Amino acid sequence: MCELLGMECNVLTDIVFSFAGLAGRGGKHGPHSDGWGLALYEGRVARVFLDPQPAADSPLAKFVREHPIKTLLAIAHVRRKTRGQVSLANTHPFVRELWGRHFVYAHNGTVKGVRKLKLGRFNPIGDTDSEHAFCYLLAALHHDFPQGPRSQVDYSNAVAKYAGRIGKLGSFNMLLGDGTQLFARCATKLHYIIRKAPFAKATLADEDVSVDFAAVTTPHDRVAVIATTPLTRDEVWTTGIPDTLWVFRKGKLVRTLAC
């Protein structure tokens, strides 16, 4: 299985601390050594780093850790393959354009029957069940909202509906971002924390690396972090309930939906 990491904020923030914790699980502290990826939004466009090499040993991952890029929304993934070979084409997160913006997606789990689902104008490049599920999800959203959704409620409900349909075919933990909000579906294991004032010190779960967030934030900052397994050992993370979808916007959990 893979590990997911998402970040959604109300102010520009770098993901270096959390990404360092995730990257260590990509071959050093965990078995997720079949590639890694990180997408960082700048408005409607996502800047994407992908590498089929283990994150713990990747020069590109080291570059990302040493050159912080601030963003309002980020999605990262370390892969332990279950379907599809180790290759750049099969490395998460996947990116497609819909409604004039990039959609970014990463998946943890196996959806064995996903190829039963019909695709629209979106086609997989690799051979994973994960990418096929992403293409189906976007096709379904495009079908319901050809020009884009006018209602955030209808939009969130549609994501929950189609993510739930995919989830009935297997294990479907996923992150989906559109540049303005982050959807996170829990099938088996997912956690989140919202860092806000009063900020405190946090230490990575797998390494003796700490950050005093009070020293690098303002009282108005709010940062939501979503991970398969909690990345820190001295913070309280909320555990997801299976078959639920979280919707994060401007660093807040704005909706929780059954799916």
**Identified catalytic residue from 2, 135, 186, 259:** 2
Please name the residues in contact with 223: beta carbons below 8 A apart, sequence gap of 6 or more: 7, 8, 9, 10, 11, 13, 194, 195, 196, 251
Alpha-carbon gap, residue 107 to 197, rounded angstroms:
31
Q: Does the annotation count 2 as an active-site position?
A: yes
Q: Is 38 helix (H, G, I), strand (E, B) or coil?
A: strand
Nearest residue to 39 via CA among 173, 153, 179: 179
How far apart CA 106 and CA 193 sit, in angstroms, is 19
Half-sphere exposure of 113 (CA within 13 A, CB side): 7
Q: Which of 155, 154, 158, 121 is nearest to 139 (CA)?
A: 121
Active site amino acids: 2
